Chains A and B, each alone.
Chain A
Amino acid sequence: AIRMTQSPSSFSASTGDRVTITCRASQGISSYLAWYQQKPGKAPKLLIYAASTLQSGVPSRFSGSGSGTDFTLTISCLQSEDFATYYCQQYYSYPPAFGPGTKVDIK
């Protein structure tokens, strides 16, 4: 099974910051990668699929890049509503696997 890692596991940031989260797969997954945002007590929300395709309705300050084993999620200008935990997920091979998450909180 493919294993996903994320870095950092958590960090503090300020509104207006540009932030980048990294996700790495244990083997190549082409561009079969999704990113989700989860707030406390809520279901995850799809942000990006196919590594870089923005889900409908998601603000353009979110972007994704990468292919193969290394991927990044970038938030260009952090807003108050973006403080949350972010998960990557590979869907290249079965079973789909999620990263452990990156928590972004307020500095």
Chain B
Amino acid sequence: QLQLQESGPGLVKPSETLSLTCTVSGGSISSSSYYWGWIRQPPGKGLEWIGSIYYSGSTYYNPSLKSRVTISVDTSKNQFSLKLSSVTAADTAVYYCARHPHWDCSGGSCYSDYWGQGTLVTVSS
């Protein structure tokens, strides 16, 4: 059974960098069949796509966040990571990692068939 688990600090100060890791178990992140990505949800609000990565390292970022986002993959640890720089209170959200079937993507745009449980990151001094 595939499982994704987010980990990282739950509190980040304004202007600092948010860093999260997603550990994948029950499946290989090196599979050519999937992208792996991040999606966030501010408290009480809707879902926003952040970006995704292929095991080879190729990435897609949401243009609205592109200047601040870096997603990387560590195949040896079966993990991928998110860094979001210069955070403000507007970046407070539950951050989810997810898996995206590669064969059904359109130009890097995909749906998500497995999700982590999510982790709340609060930006506050």
- A joins B in a complex: yes
A→B interface (CB under 8 Å)? 1, 32, 34, 36, 42-46, 49-50, 55, 87, 89-101
CA distance A1 to B109 in the complex (A): 12
A-B contacts counted at CB < 8 A amount to: 63
In the assembled complex, which residues on chain A have CB atoms less than 8 Å from the CB atom of B60?
A: 94-95
Q: Which of B48, B96, B109 is within 8 Å of A93, CB to CB?
A: B109
The majority secondary structure among interface residues of chain A is: loop
The majority secondary structure among interface residues of chain B is: loop
Q: Which of B49, B96, B109, B117 is within 8 Å of A32, CB to CB?
A: B109
One digit per residue, 1 when the CB lies within 8 angstroms of any chain A CB and 0 when it does not, for chain B 88-125 equals: 00000000100000001111111111011110000000
CA distance A91 to B63 in the complex (A): 15
A91 touches B106 (CB 8 A): yes
CA distance A93 to B62 in the complex (A): 11
A96 touches B110 (CB 8 A): yes
Q: Which of A42, A49, A87, A94 is within 8 Å of B104, CB to CB?
A: A49
B47 touches A44 (CB 8 A): yes
B→A interface (CB under 8 Å)? 46-49, 60, 62-64, 96, 104-113, 115-118
CB pairs A–B below 8 angstroms (14 shown): A34-B111, A42-B117, A43-B117, A45-B115, A87-B46, A89-B47, A92-B106, A95-B64, A96-B110, A98-B46, A98-B47, A98-B48, A99-B46, A100-B46
B109 touches A43 (CB 8 A): no
Chain B proximity of A42: nearest CB distance (Å)? 8
CA distance A49 to B60 in the complex (A): 21
In the assembled complex, which residues on chain B have CB atoms less than 8 Å from the CB atom of A44?
A: 47, 96, 112, 115
A43 touches B106 (CB 8 A): no
Nearest CB in chain A to that of B105: its residue: A91
CA distance A37 to B112 in the complex (A): 12
Nearest CB in chain B to that of A6: its residue: B46
A95 touches B47 (CB 8 A): no
